[in-house]
Amino acid sequence: MLQCGRGAGLYARDSDFTFPRVCNLKNELERELATEGIALPDNAFVFAAYQGYQYKYFICDENEDPAVFLVMFTDEETSPTLVNDTLSQELLEGISQYKSAFYES
């Protein structure tokens, strides 16, 4: 939040991950998961969403670089899936994809 805060230029502009939008993501995901009978851990921090059907979160458990989970709402099973072993790697991969898409054509 310190680096991106309210915006990060073109990076992730189609996703919700900046302030103040990020403040409501946990409540949104909890509501959606409740309809599937799934509970989000109390110590989860939902830091990104994409078009209301993809959410990314990590667990706040004093780990300085926590694992990242993805929840996708599709016609198939909805359940949290580990997508990256560390938050820093998740962010670095996202930045790399952004650079490839916009600067390395």
Structure confidence at residue 76 (pLDDT):
77
Name beta bridge partners: 68: 58, 84
Nearest to 70 by CA among 97, 42, 50, 92: 50
Verify cis geometry, omega within 30 degrees of 0, for the bond prior to 20. Answer: yes
Separation between Cα atoms, residue 59 and residue 51, nearest integer Å: 22
Considering only residues 30 and 5, tell me which one the structure prediction assigns the higher pLDDT: 30
CB of 28 within 8 A of CB of 11? no
- 38-83 pLDDT, tens digit each: 999 999 999 999 887 899 999 999 999 999 999 998 877 788 999 9
> At 3, is the pLDDT very low, low, confident or very high (cuts 50, 70, 90)?
very low
Q: Is the pLDDT of residue 6 over 60?
A: no
Q: Is the pLDDT of residue 1 over 60?
A: no
> pTM score, two decimals?
0.79
Mean pLDDT value across the chain: 82
